[in-house]
Chain A
Amino acid sequence: MGAEVVVEGLTKSFGNQAIWRDVTLTLPPGEVSVMLGPSGTGKSVFLKSMIGLLKPDRGRCLVNGVDIVTCSERQLYETRKLFGVLFQDGALFGSMNLFDNVAFPLREHTRKSEAEIRRIVLEKLDLTGLQGAEKKLPGEISGGMRKRAGLARALVLNPEIILCDEPDSGLDPVRTAYLSQLLIDLNAQIDATILIVTHNINLARTVPDNLGMLFRRELVMFGPREVLLTSDEPVVEQFLNGRRRGPIGMSEEKDAAQMAEEEAHAAAGHSDGSSAEDVRGVVPQLEPTPGLPERQAVRRRKDRVMSVLRSLPSAAQEGIIASLTPDEQARYQVTAQPTPYPRVESISGDLGDPAWPGVRP
């Protein structure tokens, strides 16, 4: 099972400019989480702080009990071996061809024979659809291929935690769908903790177990996907629907005058850039390709979510209950009719820590 990442009160600023303050969240082991946020809200900075490339001003980031922020350099390098990181542009080594790029972590950190390295590298390249391109240099291939090669390199050491910085940027919708499927399949196979930073709504709706959003220098919310997908928070609603009306402006914040003007335009029938329908609501989650093992994380998460069901907003409760099969509804003893107090007393098994840090119902 993947490692747990606990972030507590993380704060980062560049000079006088605060990027985000007091970000507190837990990436549950083995689950897929997505961090949403408008461009320029410090999502990439957040990822880089999590792996110690940037030093946050305050706060802790615990990976398997090691605090990335304050640990020694030696510990940092050791802990980083648990991570597989996909950078925005792939961050391949320009002087090496794709094969050597993907083989690099193996040659550095393992004592595998060259034949074995070759087998693993070709397997990962095959997985990311790059068979036949292993002799190419990063400068000779498209951005999408670089990104996939970067992913292959991130996966080659079988990491416990996979961080993806905008895996979809520069990829077409079809390749993004394949990539989403690949990440879910990976999660089913190696049960790694995955954090994806993106602003792709479709990916955010279908892929993750947990969903969070950064806006205006803070974490708006982080919790089970149903909570954010059914949220009435204006920022979340605007972002999910991709429209101009709402608190998010072209520059990060919007003043009252502009907001009023846009409301007036919308009232006069001018389109605000979104489709008419509201895309919020819980949609079925992506499943591993048939034939692969079941995702362990789904079951673990379900138990945990059900144990805190009552503390979630009612829209999220409805969404969660509606997504259960009749069997599961019987097992957790909840019914599809939203009752003010669903009975969840008799859940069996060890539920672990029921707290969901970061959830603000």
Chain B
Amino acid sequence: MTARTASFPGAGALRETGRLFALGLDVLVNIFRRPFQTREFVQQCWFIASVTILPTALVAIPFGAIVALQLGTLIVQLGAQSFTGAASVLAIIQQAAPLVTALLVAGAGGSAICADIGSRTIREEIDAMEVLGVSPVQRLVVPRVLAAMLVAVLLNGLVSVVGVMGGYFFNVVLQGGTPGAYLASFSALAQLPDLWISEIKALIFGFIAGVVAAYRGLNPKGGPKGVGDAVNQSVVITFLLLFFVNFVLTAVYLQVVPAKGS
């Protein structure tokens, strides 16, 4: 019955990964456990939204702009000016919007979640909650993860709109593109599934950001400094995971959904 701990190179990393997935599963199971913490959920939504809306909008404008500028020059060289709008819409909705959203949800929302749960852990509040027979996962983690997911999905819409508008502005005003051509080509390449995958990505990224933040927060190492380190790690780990998951999702999407017109 002795608890064995394997010790080979990389065992620690595997163990952490396993625990992270275990927490993810716990969260999924506990989402359906009553009573749902509505109050906490609404508060967390409000909190995450309030810290992410402005930075997201501010990031989205230049993001739309660089996509528009880069594509604009490239497409002029190729002689397909009329497709500038189509290309930038595709780039922004499929890739830029979910990533920008997730980075900000992880960076602003996730770090706050991690710091909050981490300080509760070192003050033994989490232990106390467990001893009182209340599951911290159900009570604290689930509302936060759900809030991160919801806010990510909503922000994704915001980034798409702001990004496309930014792209339009820079293309039309600065590069002398034709407004009509830009708007008319919107639906030349983009299709409805692009919007779906964008929102699905945002949903999954929000989940990852929430779970990683909660996981690092529940397991800080050694006192207040540990909480600081945990916040730092949670952001870095989330970013790494986001780009990897984004790569996988994009690859799968491009295989499964045929490009328009083909």
Q: State which residues 124-143 of B face A: CB under 8 Å.
A: 124-125, 127-135
Residues of B within 8 A of A51 (CB): 131
Residues of chain A within 8 A of B119, CB atoms compared: 94
A83 touches B131 (CB 8 A): yes
- Decide if B124 touches A87 in the complex (CB within 8 Å): yes
Please tell me if B1 contacts chain A, counting CB pairs below 8 Å: yes
Interface string of A49-71 (1 = CB under 8 A from B): 00101010110000000000000
Given contacts A55-B3, A58-B1, A58-B2, contact A87 B133 (CB under 8 A): no
> B1 — which chain A residues lie within 8 A by C-beta?
58
Considering the complex, give the chain B residue whose CB is closest to the CB of A88.
Answer: B124
* CB-defined contacts of B124 to chain A, threshold 8 Å: 87-89, 91
Q: Are A53 and B133 in contact (CB under 8 A)?
A: no
CA distance A85 to B132 in the complex (A): 8
**Residue A104 interfacial (CB < 8 Å):** yes
Q: Residue A277 at the B interface, CB < 8 A?
A: no
Most A CB contacts (10 A, CB to CB) among B120, B123, B125, B131 go to B131
B interface residue count range (under 10 / 10 to 19 / 20 to 34 / 35 or more): 10 to 19
Q: Is the CB of B133 within 8 A of A108?
A: yes
Q: A356 at interface (Cβ–Cβ under 8 A)? A: no
Residues on the A chain within 8 Å of B134, using CB: 104, 108
Q: Is the CB of A80 within 8 A of B130?
A: yes
Is B123 a contact of A108 with CB atoms below 8 Å?
no
Closest chain B residue to A93, Cβ basis: B125
Asked if A81 is at the interface (CB within 8 A of a chain B CB), the reply is yes
Q: Mark A86-105, 1 if CB is under 8 A from B, else 0.
A: 01110111100000000011
**B131 engages A80 (CB within 8 Å):** yes
Asked if A94 contacts B120 (CB within 8 A), the reply is yes
Question: Whole-angstrom distance between the alpha carbons of A108 and B130 in the complex?
Answer: 12
Of residues 152 through 168 on chain A, the ones whose CB sits less than 8 Å from some CB of chain B are: 153
* Size bin of chain A's contact surface: 20 to 34
Q: Residues of A contacting B125 with CB < 8 Å? A: 91-94
Query: Which A residues lie within 8 Å of B3 (CB)?
Result: 55, 57
B133 CB contacts on chain A under 8 angstroms: 77-78, 80-81, 105, 108-109
A88 to B122, CA, bound (A): 12
Q: How far is the CA of A133 from the CA of B56 in the complex (A)?
A: 42
* CA distance in complex: A51, B132 (Å): 10
Counting chain B CB atoms within 10 Å of each CB, the highest count among A91, A92, A93, A108 belongs to A91
User: B130 — which chain A residues lie within 8 A by C-beta?
Assistant: 53, 80
Determine the chain B residues whose CB is within 8 A of the CB of A300 once the complex forms: none
Contact, CB under 8 Å: B132 / A89: no
Whether B135 pairs with A91 at a CB distance below 8 angstroms is: no
Q: Is the CB of B131 within 8 A of A53?
A: yes
User: Are A87 and B128 in contact, with the CB atoms below 8 A?
Assistant: yes
Q: Which residue of B lies closest to A48 (CB)?
A: B127
Complex Cα spacing A131 to B133, Å: 26
Chain A positions near chain B (C-beta within 8 angstroms): 48, 51, 53, 55, 57-58, 77-78, 80-81, 83, 85, 87-89, 91-94, 104-105, 108-109, 150, 153
29 contacts between A and B (CB under 8 A): A53-B127, A57-B2, A57-B3, A58-B2, A77-B133, A77-B135, A78-B133, A80-B132, A81-B133, A85-B128, A87-B127, A87-B128, A91-B123, A91-B124, A91-B127, A91-B128, A93-B128, A94-B119, A94-B120, A94-B123, A94-B125, A104-B132, A108-B132, A108-B133, A108-B134, A109-B132, A109-B133, A150-B128, A153-B132
Which 9 pairs across A and B sit closest by C-beta, in order of nearness?
A: A91-B128, A91-B124, A81-B133, A85-B131, A80-B133, A87-B124, A105-B132, A77-B133, A57-B3
What is the interface of chain B, defined by CB distance below 8 A to chain A?
1-3, 119-120, 123-125, 127-135
